């Protein structure tokens, strides 16, 4: 057999062997802390997202309504509020600083609520306040709620970057998370990270809850494709003060979404008020 033919056959054999082995394997992430940090960073350039929250558990209403403080006895000062069936769903348009929310809380007189936030105004309608929307200037909330805005270009505003940086710094202080088996969530192939913390691990939360103690388990399913969270499960055990579980599904990242103010004839002249917040 001519030498050239042997050389050609050898080259073909090498090529077939290389193809049979497939492409070079991409290293599988094994550091749960790095995966969790990447999930946080992945939110930096989100343009829009659809969210759905399901809440279960029960809370001691005595602790919520003034039983307060470490010296109180919450178990004797109120009844239990069953949160089963509580849901919150809507869309967040980060680029245009707009949002829509639909909420249902069966335990609170079968409360339902619809909220539309557009142009710095929240239009709020609840089953307890009537058929029309009432307006609330969201600037009255900015001092109390750390909600970052986004620039019109879709890039994160400086405040958003600062919030994410602070969040990553706080995550670094927590006990090491655990990497669990991969799962498919909301049609996405995901890493599954679990973090278990005590209230003493989060000083800010301990102070805000006026002495409330307990523990929380946070599960994060982050999409392998881009690191973005697909689901979060937050389970809080507050002992005698109750327990709470929130399942948060995040889907339709960066999808086109239109959020508009309700028609004028559906908006009341009366402003929506929150106790403790002046107009």
pLDDT at 263: 96
CB 205 within 8 A of CB 199: yes
By the 10 Å C-beta count (0-12 exposed, 13-18 middle, 19+ buried), 174 is classed as middle
Average pLDDT, the chain: 78
pLDDT at 210 over 50: no
Q: Which of 7-16, 17-26, 171-180 has the highest mean pLDDT?
A: 171-180
The per-residue b/e assignment along 220-254, b for 16 or more CB within 10 angstroms, e otherwise, is bbbbeeebbbbbbbbbbbbeebbebbbbbbbeebe
Give the pTM: 0.74
Residue bearing tokens 């849901």:
87
pLDDT at 55 over 90: yes
Rounded Cα gap, residues 215 and 193, in angstroms? 17
Tens-digit pLDDT profile for residues 152-205 = 434 444 455 666 666 667 667 778 899 999 999 999 999 999 999 886 665 544
In this structure, the strands spanning 267-271 and 133-137 are parallel
Q: What stretches of the chain adopt beta strand conformation (E)?
A: 48-60, 80-82, 86-93, 98-105, 111-118, 121-126, 133-137, 178-185, 188-198, 215-223, 229-237, 242-251, 267-271
Higher pLDDT pick, 47 / 155: 47
pLDDT at 132: 94
CB 86 within 8 A of CB 244: no
CB 131 within 8 A of CB 274: no
Tell me which residue of 58, 63, 62, 86 sits closest to 213, measured CA to CA: 63
* Percent of all residues in the chain with a pLDDT value above 90, rounded to a whole number: 47
107: helix, strand or coil: coil
Tens-digit pLDDT profile for residues 93-151 = 999 999 999 999 999 999 999 999 999 999 999 999 889 999 998 876 655 444 444 44
Phi, psi of 46 (to 5 degrees): -65, 135
Rounded Cα gap, residues 229 and 183, in angstroms? 13
pLDDT at 28: 61
189: helix, strand or coil: strand
Tell me which residue of 251, 229, 231 sits closest to 36, measured CA to CA: 229
pLDDT at 249: 97
């Amino acid at each position: 057999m001519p030498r050239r033919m042997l050389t050609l056959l050898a080259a073909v054999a090498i090529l077939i062997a290389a193809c049979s082995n497939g492409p070079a394997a991409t290293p599988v992430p094994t550091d749960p802390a790095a995966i969790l940090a990447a999930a946080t960073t992945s939110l930096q350039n989100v343009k829009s997202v659809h969210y759905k929250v399901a809440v279960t558990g029960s809370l001691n209403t005595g602790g919520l309504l003034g039983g307060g403080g470490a010296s109180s006895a919450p178990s004797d000062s109120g009844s239990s509020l069953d949160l089963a069936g509580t849901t919150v769903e809507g869309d967040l348009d980060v680029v245009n600083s707009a949002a829509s929310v639909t909420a249902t809380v069966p335990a609170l007189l079968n409360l339902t609520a619809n909220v539309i936030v557009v142009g710095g105004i929240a239009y709020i309608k609840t089953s307890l306040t009537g058929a029309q929307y009432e307006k609330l200037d969201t600037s009255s909330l900015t001092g109390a709620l750390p909600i970052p805005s986004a620039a019109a270009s879709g890039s994160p505003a400086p405040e958003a970057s600062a919030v994410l940086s602070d969040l990553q710094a706080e995550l670094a202080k927590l006990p090491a998370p655990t990497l669990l088996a991969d799962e498919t969530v909301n049609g996405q192939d995901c890493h599954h990270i679990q973090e278990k913390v005590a209230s003493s691990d989060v000083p800010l939360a301990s102070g805000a809850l006026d002495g409330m103690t307990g523990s929380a388990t946070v599960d994060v399913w982050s999409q392998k494709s881009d690191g973005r969270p697909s689901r979060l499960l937050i389970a809080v055990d507050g002992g005698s003060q109750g327990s709470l579980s929130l399942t948060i599904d995040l889907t339709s990242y960066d999808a086109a979404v239109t959020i508009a103010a309700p028609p004028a004839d559906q908006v009341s002249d009366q402003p929506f008020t929150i106790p403790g917040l002046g107009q």
